[in-house]
Amino acid sequence: MDKEWTKLARESKEYQNGVDFFLDYAYTKGKPRGKEISCPCAECYNTNWFTRKVVRNHLIALGFRKGYDFWVRHGEEIRKPNDLNDDHVNDEEDQIDELLFERFRDVIQEECEFNEGLKEDAKKFYNLVEEAKQELYPGCKNFSKLSFRIRLYLLKCLYGWSNESFNALLELLKEAMPSLNIPDTFNKTKGMIKDLGLDYTKIDACPNDCMTYWKNYENETSCHVCGAPRWKEIVEGNHQVGINHASSKVSAKILRHFPLIPRLQRLFMCSKTASS
């Protein structure tokens, strides 16, 4: 039914007028190559160049690609968050748009410069933009799907929730409020955090803090200082599995490494901290 409704919507006069408006804008404000422009349909993703007639047919048959709300490859300039009227900024807003702009500034710049193809970072950017536009539930004004996921993840980190407890909370929220637009599992939430550049690296460590299993010691199975084993001994039922059981390797200790260089880059990338 959704596909049929979407098809009918694209065949409507209002949609076709919108497509014509876009084409007029692209040919007057953008940088066409002769009679051709890049096609922003759901299949071409601005990687193919066609004449006006072909692009129009694609947009009516397939629709615009998701997240392409700013026509940066067709003459529209991205407004920076600092350019917005400060009188209309609410301190309580989550400012997700600003976060995405700062995180993917280079991606936006590349899009504006008409680089060919859609890079992986650009796909992440458009996916996150799409999530930032989605309501947490119908009529919700305080949270978007993206901002709520970030807040949940922050609480997990602050209060040491396990992955299992996080999944259980998601299940409870979905059961109590079926219309809630949240992920099903912790892994999906973590994937989004990784796309935002807020992830960390896990490195096995000696339980006595003698060494980390990194670089030259990455494949070692015991500490070269105190001899402590790298893996915990796992007990299943009434018998001990041992530390070398392939399916039961659990690190005795884990170091969570937050790389310094990317975080310094993020500080200078953000307009609010760069000046400091």
Q: Summarize pLDDT for 202-212 with one digit per residue, the tens.
A: 899 999 999 99
- Pair 136, 187 in one domain: yes
Whether residue 92 has pLDDT greater than 50: no
Whether residue 82 has pLDDT greater than 90: no
Q: Which of the residue ranges 103-107, 152-156, 171-175 would you say has the lowest mean pLDDT?
A: 103-107
CB 74 within 8 Å of CB 27: no
166 part of a folded domain: yes
- Pair 164, 110 in one domain: yes
Last residue of a domain, one of 151, 168, 196: 196
271 part of a folded domain: no
- Pair 89, 113 in one domain: yes
- Pair 92, 152 in one domain: yes
- Pair 32, 132 in one domain: no
Arithmetic mean of pLDDT, 126-130:
68
Q: Which of the residue ranges 58-62, 95-99, 143-147, 175-179 would you say has the lowest mean pLDDT?
A: 95-99
- Pair 139, 212 in one domain: no
Predicted TM-score (pTM) of this structure? 0.44
CB 202 within 8 Å of CB 254: yes
pLDDT tier, 160 (very low <50, low <70, confident <90, very high otherwise):
confident
pLDDT per residue over 1-37, tens digit each?
A: 445 556 656 668 888 888 999 999 999 888 888 889 9
CA distances from 68 to 6, 23, 211 (A): 17, 14, 48
Using the structure block, give the residue that is written with the tokens 């350019």.
83
Whether residue 175 has pLDDT greater than 70: yes
Our CA angle for 11, 135, 194, nearest 5°, is 105
Using the structure block, give the residue that is written with the tokens 């550049």.
197
pLDDT of the residue at 86: 44
In the predicted model, what is the mean pLDDT of the chain?
75
98 part of a folded domain: yes
Last residue of a domain, one of 148, 180, 196: 196
Residues of the domain holding 221 = 201-257
Domains held by the chain: number: 3
- Pair 112, 179 in one domain: yes
- Pair 145, 240 in one domain: no
- Pair 98, 158 in one domain: yes
pLDDT of the residue at 259: 77
pLDDT tier, 133 (very low <50, low <70, confident <90, very high otherwise):
confident
275 part of a folded domain: no
Last residue of a domain, one of 28, 43, 74: 74
pLDDT of the residue at 88: 38
pLDDT of the residue at 232: 87
- Pair 168, 214 in one domain: no
267 part of a folded domain: no
Using the structure block, give the residue that is written with the tokens 């990194």.
214
- Pair 175, 103 in one domain: yes
Gap between the terminal Cα atoms of the chain: 54
pLDDT per residue over 31-57, tens digit each?
A: 888 889 989 888 888 888 999 999 999
- Pair 101, 160 in one domain: yes
